[in-house]
Amino acid sequence: MKRVAVYCGANPGKNPIYTQAAINVADWLAQHHLDLVYGGGGVGLMNVLAERAIKNGTYTIGIMPQFLVDKEIAAPHLDEFYVTDDMDERKAKMLSLADACLALPGGPGTLEEISEAFSWARVGQNPNPCAFYNVNGYYDKLADFFDHMITEGFLTTEDRNKLLFSDSLEEIYNFMTR
């Protein structure tokens, strides 16, 4: 594993624990000599993550659709920056550059992106492991819902085991590297 696609909010959230989580992920990437692949934003948790990654000397790759570049929310000083035509192309590019997928707390866009990555993994279109960094129990209800999918026959236990919810970055690292 060399590169991790990190999905996170364009907002910082209300609790400072989420900002600290973004800092922790950036430090974790540096500790394990992993490159950052992310949405390229210079706002919210994306900005916290990227700025700390840059400070740590982590190789940073941003991918952003043109309409967001036009809103001037792109992060400066990234090692690589790709401009796409739309969000679908952005997501595909992120997956093509990454070896693993990690979601920090975020909003509907974060949830949609990691859900799509996991969905594509289930059908063989994404070989990358997918994990949720479950800071402060943020994703507890979602983890329960995935378990409910098994109970109701919409998800196999085998596929559910390909998705991790954890508040431990070391557990996430071990999951992603095995």
The residue ranges of DSSP E strands in the chain, in sequence order, are 3-7, 35-38, 60-65, 80-84, 100-103, 130-133, 163-166
- How would residue 121 be classed by pLDDT, with cut points 50, 70 and 90? very high
Look at residue 46 in the predicted model and tell me its pLDDT: 97
Question: Which pLDDT tens digit goes with each residue over 53-68?
Answer: 999 999 999 999 999 9
Look at residue 149 in the predicted model and tell me its pLDDT: 98
pTM of the prediction?
Answer: 0.96
Residues in the chain: 178
Look at residue 48 in the predicted model and tell me its pLDDT: 97
8 A C-beta contact, residue 93 and residue 5: no
8 A C-beta contact, residue 71 and residue 41: no
> Can you tell me the distance from the alpha carbon of 113 to that of 88, in angstroms, rounded to the nearest whole number?
10
- How would residue 152 be classed by pLDDT, with cut points 50, 70 and 90? very high
